[in-house]
C-alpha cells in the first residue's frame, strides 16, 4: 500500500498497488481519527496527509520532503536561464519513470507527453503535472 523512501525514512501512498480501495479508506480513517481522539501514532508518513485532510494540495515543499533530489533538479529547471535551449540540454519530455514491484515503467504526464520536450515556456507546467501525478494520481 505504501512506497518507502529510505533516505528520509518516510512512507507515501503507492498508487500502483494491488490493494483494494477499502484498505486505503481504512488507513485514512485511522490517520484521521487519531488526532481527534488525542492518540499518537508513530507512522513516518508525509505530513502531506494532514494537508489533504484540510483540503490542501501538494506543492514543491511536499516534493522536497518526499524526494529532495528530484525537487532540487526541478528547482534547477525552473531557474534555468542559459542561452542554450533547455530541450537540448535536458532532453526531458512530459513523462515520469516509476519503479514498482521490480519493474520500471513510463507514464505520460499529459496526452502525447512522450513527444513533448520541456522548454522554458512549459517548464512550470511540467513541474506542476509531475507533482500532481506523484501525489494526486
CA atoms within 13 A on the CB side of 76: 9
- Identify the helix (H) or strand (E) that includes residue 97: strand 95-100
pLDDT of residue 40: 86
Residue 69 is placed in which grid cell?
533530489
Give the model's confidence band at 48: pLDDT under 50 very low, under 70 low, under 90 confident, else very high: confident
Q: Is residue 46 over pLDDT 80?
A: no
Between residues 72 and 50, which one has the greater pLDDT? 72
What is the residue range of 37's domain? 2-136
Average pLDDT of 1-28? 82
Query: What whole-number distance in Å separates Cα of residue 59 and Cα of residue 120?
Result: 20
The pLDDT mean for the chain works out to 87
The count of structural domains within the chain is: 1
Q: For the domain that residue 37 is a member of, what is the CATH number? A: 3.30.2160.10
Between residues 94 and 19, which one has the greater pLDDT? 94
Amino acid at each position: 500500500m505504501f512506497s518507502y523512501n529510505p533516505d528520509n525514512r518516510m512512507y507515501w501512498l503507492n498508487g500502483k498497488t494491488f490493494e483494494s480501495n477499502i484498505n486505503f479508506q481504512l488507513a485514512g480513517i485511522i490517520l484521521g481519527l487519531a488526532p481527534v481522539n488525542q492518540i499518537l501514532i508513530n507512522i513516518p508518513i508525509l505530513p502531506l496527509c494532514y494537508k489533504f485532510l484540510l483540503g490542501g494540495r501538494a506543492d514543491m515543499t511536499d516534493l522536497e520532503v518526499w524526494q529532495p533530489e528530484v525537487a532540487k533538479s526541478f528547482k534547477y529547471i525552473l531557474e534555468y536561464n542559459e542561452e542554450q535551449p533547455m530541450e537540448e540540454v535536458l532532453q526531458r519530455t512530459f513523462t515520469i519513470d516509476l519503479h514498482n514491484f521490480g519493474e520500471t515503467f513510463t507514464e505520460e504526464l499529459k496526452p502525447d507527453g512522450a513527444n513533448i520536450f520541456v522548454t522554458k515556456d512549459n517548464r512550470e507546467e511540467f513541474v506542476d503535472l509531475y507533482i500532481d501525478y506523484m501525489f494526486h494520481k
